[in-house]
Chains A and B, each alone.
Chain A
Amino acid sequence: GAGVSQTPSNKVTEKGKYVELRCDPISGHTALYWYRQSLGQGPEFLIYFQGTGAADDSGLPNDRFFAVRPEGSVSTLKIQRTERGDSAVYLCASSRSTDTQYFGPGTRLTVL
């Protein structure tokens, strides 16, 4: 079966631009997580959804970051006015409710 997919795999943008990162979870998984990972660090929690609603968005660093999951499946992470410090790998993971989470391959974001 298909795993978690993320697009694009790489995104290069200029400081100040807007970007959208997409995550397609495993079919039937109700929980969806977004993380950010910098080199040599563990994944940093950003937000998680249970169905369509954001159950916990306490990890979003500031109001430039926003995520949606309108139909309870695909999710989009949106970053406004990107800054160089936003450069990282953005990981998405999904799970059935309380089961373990499965990660996608990530989107490598580079802000020049």
Chain B
Amino acid sequence: GQNIDQPTEMTATEGAIVQINCTYQTSGFNGLFWYQQHAGEAPTFLSYNVLDGLEEKGRFSSFLSRSKGYSYLLLKELQMKDSASYLCAVRGWPGTYKYIFGTGTRLKVLA
């Protein structure tokens, strides 16, 4: 089957670092994506990994291990505006560029 798992909720303090994990089991793989979604808004792209390793983009980094079916999103120097849902998505079942999303992790940043 096809399955993407991520924690439902996390809480962290302003200025701290938080790591949001995502594990996946899919029949094909052509990239793992992280999106941020504020309540009532559309998802916005944060990062993309297709090869193993760490991709860094300012305060956000994303890591991928294809052999373990595992990724994480690291958010540093947390700000109140980072309170949002973070969606993990896998692209690319065989012969398609279809994306499958996880249910999202709701992050609350506290002062």
Which residues of A are at the interface with B, using a C-beta cutoff of 8 A?
31, 33, 35, 40-45, 48, 50, 55-56, 58-59, 91, 98, 100-106
Contact = CB atoms under 8 A, between A and B. Distances in A.
A106 B87 contact: no
Contacts of A44: 101
Contact of A43 (B44, B96, B101): B101
Nearest to B88: A42
A44 B100 CA distance: 7
A104 B42 contact: yes
Nearest to A43: B101
A56 B89 CA distance: 17
Contacts of B104: 40-42
B43 A45 contact: no
30 contacts: A33-B99, A41-B103, A41-B104, A42-B89, A42-B102, A42-B103, A42-B104, A43-B43, A43-B87, A43-B99, A43-B101, A44-B101, A45-B98, A45-B99, A45-B101, A48-B98, A50-B97, A55-B97, A56-B96, A56-B98, A58-B98, A98-B97, A100-B45, A100-B48, A101-B99, A102-B45, A103-B42, A103-B43, A105-B41, A106-B42
Contacts of A101: 45, 99
Q: Which 8 A-B pairs have the closest CB atoms?
A: A42-B101, A103-B42, A56-B96, A43-B101, A42-B103, A42-B104, A100-B45, A56-B98
Given A40-B103, A56-B96, A104-B42, 6 more contacts: A41-B104, A43-B43, A45-B99, A56-B97, A101-B45, A105-B41
Interface residues of B, number: 18
A46 to B, nearest CB: 10
